[in-house]
Amino acid sequence: MTEQPVDQGESKRTTLGRTLRFLREKAGKSLGQLAEETSYDKSYLYRLETGERLSKRAVMEDLDRYHGSGDLLVGLWRDARKEVIKDKYKAFMELESTARVMWLFQLRVPGLLQTENYARAVLSGLSGAQTTAGNSDDVEEQVALRLGRQELLYRSPAPSVRVILDEGALRRAVPDGKVWKDRLSHLMAAAALPSVALQVLPFTAGVHDLMDSHLWLLWQRVGDPVAYVEGNGFGELIDDPDKVLSLRLSYDLVRDAALTPSESRAFIEGLLKECAP
């Protein structure tokens, strides 16, 4: 790959597309020939080369085998995918900052409702692997950014926020018991805000449509609602009206199965008593 000119300013998806084209031309193949020999549609391969489309990992594995390029394309695809997720998250953050209505379903306590110490524990990996000194500055920067987002709960006018928390989000402790207790107390304080409704979805509610991912539904002052779905290693901003409506209906079902706001406060109070010394 040293024969390729490198543009430091290009996107990761563009780099991947340029590399795909380079490998094809180096092999002396036209798009038509590559399509015939790999069984991928010619127009699809063209969109990959122009950066209009990002494939699945399996496609890059196939093309790496075809070109004998090791895991070069898979590595570039992984970088491009991270960049796409980051761009979508940035767009979501911008929409969140101006939303007038927000509905959330969360498998963990969302950043909007985290304490500083809990955010630090989550971001530094204290709930699992220990952090390293080398990334402590990055963690502190992320903590500051996360806490800064919470200002929208106190602005005027404040957005109307409804958060449904899975019971596991409340019961999953961190090593420091005080951090866990402070987190629960902070949730109680947030639930007391006039613009915030907090509900708990108990384990007894059983299986449901949203159990594998976090969901945000956002309404601006004008325009159609959008959704943001986040899971393990992916994030997707959705503005297709039919898909957003489907997610809203799923949210409605989860809300119907959740404890009421008053029942949820009582539930959290019970947990606070459990962790009392």
pLDDT at residue 42, rounded to an integer? 94
Q: What is the pTM of this model?
A: 0.69
DSSP E strand boundaries for 220-270: 226-231, 234-238
Domain boundaries in the chain?
12-82, 99-112+152-274
pLDDT at residue 17, rounded to an integer? 94
Question: What pLDDT band is residue 51 in, cutting at 50, 70 and 90?
Answer: confident
pLDDT at residue 268, rounded to an integer? 95
Q: Do domains 12-82 and 99-112+152-274 have the same CATH topology?
A: no
The neighbour count for residue 9, using CB atoms within 10 Å, is: 5
Is the separation of the CB atoms in 180 and 233 below 8 Å?
A: no
Run of H or E including 274: helix 261-274
The answer on pLDDT for 82 being more than 80 is: no
Is the separation of the CB atoms in 218 and 227 below 8 Å?
A: yes
Count of alpha carbons within 13 angstroms of residue 100, beta-carbon side: 8
pLDDT at residue 85, rounded to an integer? 65
Per the model's pLDDT, the better-predicted residue between 131 and 196 turns out to be: 196
Buried b (16+ CB within 10 A) or exposed e, 45-57: bbebbebeebbee
CATH class of 12-82: mainly alpha
The answer on pLDDT for 130 being more than 50 is: no
Displacement of CA 259 from its chain's centroid (Å)? 25
Quote the percentage of the chain above a pLDDT of 70.
Answer: 91
CATH class of 99-112+152-274: alpha beta
Is the separation of the CB atoms in 251 and 217 below 8 Å?
A: yes
199-232 tens-digit pLDDT: 999 999 999 999 989 999 999 999 899 999 988 7
In the numeric block, which tokens belong to residue 243? 């898909």
pLDDT at residue 7, rounded to an integer? 54
pLDDT at residue 128, rounded to an integer? 44
